Structure 1
Amino acid sequence: MSKFLAVDSLPSWFPLHHFDEPKLNYSTGVELVQWQKPSLWAFVAMTAFNPIFWNTVARNEFRNKTITKIVRSPLLGCYLLAISIFSLSGFRDHLYLGAVKDQPALAVLAHPGFKVLAAILFAAGQTFVISSMWALGVTGTYLGDYFGILMTHRVTSFPFNVLSDPMYVGSALSHLGTALWFQSPVGLALAAWVWIVYSIALKYEGPFTDKIYSGQHKKSDSPTPTTGTSSAPPATPSRRSGRIAAKSSHSDLDSDADVKPTTTPGRGPRKSGLAREAGVATPKRMTRSRSKGRVGSEDE
């Protein structure tokens, strides 16, 4: 008589198959989680710690340049932070494997279909993670903008043309695929925990990164105030006198401000105004040209 009560003929993925065989650590659903396992809580804590660590260090670097002052190079400082983040992430993944293996497995997840799904999810997740790092580079991936190493343009190639945060999504998918591969219901919950932590981190990282680049754009803009955005050339006497006043501040153009019209009063001032505009752009016109450029870049 079979000790498995005649269920040996059932498929291996059926929930009742080998439910009482200790070495497979299968569970019938009564004890799906072994809360007393230290590996479970170690992973939960490490997953929460990682984004807190790198955001705290990066923001301190942005405000105080602590690492840059120590190593005397923002690039070297970014590389050191990259090594730290990569090492902590690797240790977290090690804890995840330990937590998954320490918890009961669910026999139904041994179905070949789940194995195929697990492989697809893991491959997709790793593709998103690796391609993101390739597209951004080391400094783009590991918070180089907090060190003042800004990217010159927004990356729109794969995988950023598919997902806005492919690295975080890819990491969550990799954890999900691993949980399915090891038939771990607890692993599925832990993969969801990874995504929750990343979602919270994005609510702080995204706006702060936007603030960094917004501040950089303001620095690149001219401090000269502008009062209008019209592109039509100024022709009224008040605007013309304003241009003369602006030019008079340049010592090498003082003599041009005293030039008298030599033709009829109706055409002479307009002609000299165009000549002055062709020679030196006024602050108002320069501001209008930058505004056009910025609107164009945002529209893209």
Structure 2
Amino acid sequence: MKEEFIKKLTTNDFVQIMGEEPQSEQLHVSITEGITQIPINYPFRTADFHLIHVAKGVFKLSINLIIYTLKKNESIGIDPKSVIQILEISNDLKVFNINFTTQFIFDNFFNKASVDAFGYFTHNNVPKLQFTKQEGKILRMLVKMLKFYNQQESSAFKEDLIRSTFGVIVYNYAEKFKKEYPDLKAELTRQEELVLRFWNVLQENVKTDRKVQFYADVLNVTTGHLSKILKEVTGKTASQLIDAAVILEARLLLVDPKFSIAQIAEELQFPDQSFFGKYFKKHVGLSPSAYRKENKK
């Protein structure tokens, strides 16, 4: 089968196929049981990340032509562009699935520990993980919590609850992976390696420098090449990712009442409070004071 004939499915495609209600553009959590027929009976290429965990029954699938049989308390991670075919499901199958985009990672996890944790997904032949009965129970509880938070229409701490719960799940996977496969190292393309290097430099300098030229110079590439690669891998340019990192930092500071808005503007190296306010409102749609009021602890 030629590669161009393999259909690419996004998270939204999966939601429609399974007849589920959409949750958010970058994250969808599903808990599926009671299906008697394979819902997708053709090979497909996934556009996003997947974390699959079997709570009951048997789930047999092919990932990049390698066949995996997942049973109770077994999990596997799937990265974007992987070719998948569902081969067999048992009548008693109950499967937990977390779909998330690359953008979700970049919007929520700007630190080196996160880069190491997501390294689990960079292997071409990712091994499945076997969780103990207790570990499986805890994992399923966390996934249920994540789904609950992701389905909430509005909540003062919705983003923080999603970020924290998702982080615990991914770090659990990473910890398990490193224990079972200590000698496996992350397998990154040159483009992915550049993105992660940019990510590390950005989280170290986000408070002090917002110029694309600065990051390009540190990484020894041109600004055009940097933005091109970042756009290909993450869907956003260097400027957009820098802005996203600054806004994330600003949001974290604004929910802490001990910092005045003027202090936050100074901390993030803005010329003055007014400039910071205009910048924040442009990207968030609220003034810093309005955002602080909505997210008051």
Question: With CA pairs under 8 Å and 6+ residues apart, which has the higher RCO, 1 or 2?
Answer: 1
TM exceeds 0.5? no
TM-score category (smaller protein): under 0.3
The structure richer in strand per residue is 2
Kindly indicate which of the two structures has a greater share of residues assigned to helix. Answer: 1
User: What's the TM-score once normalised by structure 1's chain length?
Assistant: 0.20
Give the TM-score taking structure 2 as reference length. 0.20
Structure with the greater alpha carbon radius of gyration: 1
